Amino acid sequence: DIGKNCPLGPAVMAVRVIDFEKQDFTGVIAATVLYFLLQELFMCNQVFAKLAFSKNNDPSTFDRFDYSNRHWESADRSFGNFVEQTPYFVTMMWVFALFCGAESSAQGAYFYIAFRLLFPVFWAVGGKWNALIELSTQPCYAVLNYWKASLIYLVFTGNRLVDKLPPSTALFVLACIAIHVVLTLVTFVPGYGFFRVLKLG
């Protein structure tokens, strides 16, 4: 029996009992559409900023890597950061929805999108990169880390992590913050080591 003999037996058994027909993916579908609408909004902002700061509205005269213009830097990095995170966000959202819960995935996605929207807003507050931007990016990373932790927990235990976390909203948020901090350190410590090794070359 694959569920007993496979090293990932708990996850195999968990997936077997998931009733996909009883899951409501409406929220996840809506979040997906909303996410890409936001991407188009950021893209338009980037295009219009490029035109605004091109000589005689000629894009060929514009140096896209010249960040001396703070408005252009904000527009370009807002869209660029969005694009960089898209594969990670969309993949994790749907995998989590399929194997850990569609409604929970949608809630996390809406939370993520709301804070992602604040990225250019917070940048505009100071006219340059500032600490407020972390209030946009860190909640987004916290959602991704929660999804990642939930999937890892499912693989090794066959159970949903959310069922083991406190039911209280406040305590749940604190638990998610703790998960975010731990997984961030788990990523950055070997990441720095990788950087140091490559620097030797």
17: pLDDT confidence band, cut at 50, 70 and 90? low
pLDDT of residue 55: 78
Residue 19 has pLDDT above 80, yes or no: no
Q: Which residues of 78-116 are buried (b: 16+ CB within 10 A; e: fewer)?
A: bbebbeebeeebeebbbebbbbbbbebbbebbbbbbebb
Residue 12 has pLDDT above 70, yes or no: no
- pLDDT tens sequence across 77-87: 999 999 999 99
144: pLDDT confidence band, cut at 50, 70 and 90? very high
Quote the pTM value.
0.87
pLDDT of residue 14: 62
180: pLDDT confidence band, cut at 50, 70 and 90? very high
- Rounded to an integer, the average pLDDT of 125-142 is 89
- pLDDT tens sequence across 49-64: 888 888 776 777 777 7
Please give the full DSSP string across 145-180, using - where no structure is assigned: HHHHHHHHHHHHHSS-GGGGS-SSHHHHHHHHHHHH
18: pLDDT confidence band, cut at 50, 70 and 90? low
State the Cα–Cα distance between residues 123 and 10, nearest whole angstrom.
45
156 φ, ψ (degrees, to nearest 5): -95, -15
Contact partners, residue 142, CB within 8 Å, separation at least 6: 176, 177, 179, 180
- Rounded to an integer, the average pLDDT of 94-101 is 93
